[in-house]
Homo-oligomer: A and B are copies of this chain.
Amino acid sequence: MPSPRPRTRIQARNSEAILDAALEVFSQYGFRGATLDQIAEVAGLSKPNLLYYFPSKEAIHIALLSGLMDTWLAPLRALHHDGEPVEEILDYMRRKLEMSRLYPRESRLFANEILQGAPRILDQIEGDLKALVDDKAALITTWIAEGRLAPVDPRHLLFSIWATTQHYADFDIQVHRVLGVEGDAPYAEATRFLTQMYRATLTPQPR
C-alpha cells in the first residue's frame, strides 16, 4: 500500500496527475457524477493504476478537499487588523477574486460540495470556517465602532464578497457568454466594479 503522500519521483508525478485529473472531473460533475474511468482517461492512466495510488474514489475526493480548505481560507486569514480598514477589505476582495481567476476548478469543486450538502466538509465549515468568520467579524465590528468603516453586517459582508468573487469562477461560462467575450477580460472589469461597490459600501460617512 503506497502512502498517500508521494515518496518516489514516479509516485509524485502520478499522484499529482491523478489529483489534477480528479479536480478537473469532480469540479465539473460533482462526486457522484464523476467516474473513475473519466478521471483515469484525463490523467492518462488505467483505472486499476488509479486505485494503486488511491484506495478508492472517495479517497481521491477527500485528498482534494482536505488540501483545498486551507488554501481557500488563506485570503481571509490574511485580513489584518493593521492598515486602513476599507483598503484591507478591498484587498481581501481582490485576493479572493484573484483566486477565482487562478483556481476556478477549486472554486467549482467547493461549490459542488456545498450544493450536494457538504457531506465531507461540514465539520470544517462549522469548525474552522465559523471560527475564522467569527474572528474576522469581530475585527470588522471593532473597525465600525471606531468609525473607520460604515456600519454594515460583517458576516453578510463576507458572504457578499464570497458570492461576487466566486461567481466569476463558478458561473464562468454564463459570464463569458453574456458578455460575449473570452479570456480574462471579465476579471479586470470585475475588479473595477467590485472595488467601486465595496468602497462605496464601506467608506464611513462623516456627519
List residues of chain A with CB under 8 Å of any chain B CB.
Answer: 27-34, 108, 111-112, 114-118, 122, 125-126, 129-130, 133, 150, 152-153, 155-157, 159-160, 162-164, 166-168, 170-171, 173-175, 177-180, 186, 189-190, 192-194, 196-197, 200-201
Most chain B beta-carbon contacts within 10 A, residue among A112, A116, A190, A197: A197
B residues less than 8 Å from A118 (CB atoms): 173-174
Contact call B200/A157, Cβ cutoff below 8 A: no
Q: Give bound CA distance, A180 to B108, whole Å.
A: 24
B residues less than 8 Å from A29 (CB atoms): 30, 32-33, 116
- Chain B's closest residue to A179 (CB) is B155
Contact call A174/B115, Cβ cutoff below 8 A: no
Contact call A177/B33, Cβ cutoff below 8 A: no
Contact call A193/B152, Cβ cutoff below 8 A: yes
Given contacts A163-B163, A197-B152, A201-B201, contact A178 B114 (CB under 8 A): no
Q: What are 13 A-B pairs at a CB distance below 8 A?
A: A27-B115, A28-B116, A29-B32, A114-B173, A118-B174, A125-B178, A129-B177, A156-B193, A159-B168, A159-B175, A160-B164, A163-B164, A200-B200
Contact call B30/A189, Cβ cutoff below 8 A: no
B residues less than 8 Å from A130 (CB atoms): 177-178, 180
